[in-house]
Amino acid sequence: MSLTVKNISVTYNPINQSNTFTSGDFISGQVILDVAKDTQMQSLSVKIKGKAEVYWTERHGKTTVVYSDKEKYYSVERFFVREDKPHGNEMLKDPSGQPYSSVVAPGRHVYPFTFQLPLQHFPPTFKGSVGKVVYTLETKLSRSMRISSKDKAEFHYVPGPDVSNPELMAPQYGSKDKQMKLFTSGSVSMNINTEKMGYYLGEGLKVLAEVQNSSSRAIKPKYCLYEKHSFFARGKRRLHTHDLLKEAGEPIEPNSKKTVTKVLSIPPSLAISILNCRILKVEYRLRVYLDVPYASDPEIKFPVVILPPQPVSGATNRDFGIWNQPPGSNMYPNPPPMAALAPPLHVVGPPGQFGAPGYYGPPLNSFPDPGYPGPRGPFAPPNYTGPPGQFGPSVSNHSDPSAPPPYQEYQLYPQLPDHPEKS
């Protein structure tokens, strides 16, 4: 960064205790610019975007092959200052209706902004070994004959819980029989039931197992919850699996029948299932098997879908995040107090527009507290486009009801034709 521009940064204001955002939420923040002398700007902008990407390499003989792909969900840029006025994209103005000046004096200048996240449900924030889903705010300062100054901040996006699919809440059943050979005689069979397929983080996964041991040895039921991360690019699939937890039940003696119940706790740190992304998937499986001495273990696998955080008691799915909640409300009980921003940062203007004009502040490297909860608004209908500064007509395919969405609708384990499903 040059001696003239001491610092440029973009920050956002949390709206809840877990510092997450969901579909339809308003995200507000500020671009902070510190300059040492009078500075002429060609443009100053802030952008909000979301995308998924995968990247890995493989060696094939002496050749290194790169596999990569991207999936963009949205990208909207708004300008505080721009010399060449964009076509069809209004310049953002201060609350008095005046444009921001392209010349700033020495000191600190703060440019508040507000965006509304699209109402569509996108994949949640995720980072894996060779792929990720990221949502960012980015700022860019351009000056004549100078390298652009940039900064970005990632924010955590979580889609609202969707339990409308009846398969998620339906019980699952499976059975397995095995005839013993060699060192173990007889047979074993098991019938396994689970209450449902979809679970919230921290929820208990209840497994009911009915085991008939007609063999000559004691057997032990075992349980394993594991994750599957699949990444797709150029017709290739990269798969990573990892065991999350393993537990064992009490031995079942020979020539006996027993029904056992096991409750596995879903770890609260798991990533949410991702089933609506073209280039990556995050899946979970429950494996129930019988540990049979000197024989291959019979097993049954069930899909497990990890849902977004469950709303507090009395809230509906639409209440998740900020929908249908008055300004200042919070879906989380007893949130910690958040300090208000020092004037004039509390002036943010009408919803959807950038807020107060830049001001000259004291010392460099003395940043305001970003803890202000920020503006929030009511749920808007799907065809809502909003005033400048919010998502609207500039988002490709989002404002045209007849245009196809840029992502797949939620499906349980959608089959990708180029990447056949594997267990």
Kindly write down the DSSP assignment for every residue of 196-261, as one continuous string: -SEEETT-EEEEEEEEEE-SSS-BEEEEEEEEEEEEEETTEEEEEEEEEEEEE---B-TTEEEEEE
Q: What pLDDT does residue 172 have?
A: 95
The order of strands in the sheet holding 26-35 is 5-12, 26-35, 107-116
pLDDT band of residue 327 (cuts 50, 70, 90) is very low
> What would the mean pLDDT of 369-391 be, rounded to a whole number?
38
Q: What pLDDT does residue 310 have?
A: 65
> What would the mean pLDDT of 242-265 be, rounded to a whole number?
92
Q: What pLDDT does residue 396 have?
A: 37
Instruction: Examine the pLDDT at 405 and tell me if it is beyond 60.
Output: no
35-44, 194-203, 226-235, 392-401: range with lowest mean pLDDT: 392-401
Q: What pLDDT does residue 22 have?
A: 94
89-93, 94-98, 339-343: range with lowest mean pLDDT: 339-343
Contacting residues for 348 by C-beta, under 8 A, at least 6 apart: 28, 112, 114, 355, 356, 374, 375
Higher per-residue confidence, 281 vs 328: 281
Going along the chain from its start, the domains and CATH numbers come out as: 1-162+310-392 (2.60.40.640), 166-307 (2.60.40.640)
Q: DSSP class of residue 162?
A: -
pLDDT digits (tens, 9 = 90+) for 263-317: 999 988 899 999 999 999 999 999 999 988 777 889 999 999 999 876 554 333 3
Nearest to 175 by CA among 197, 186, 190: 190
Instruction: Examine the pLDDT at 190 and tell me if it is beyond 90.
Output: yes
Task: Name the pTM for this structure.
Answer: 0.71
- Find out whether 30 and 113 touch, Cβ atoms under 8 Å: yes
- 45 residue type, one letter: S
SS3 category, 383? coil
Nearest to 39 by CA among 85, 107, 113: 107
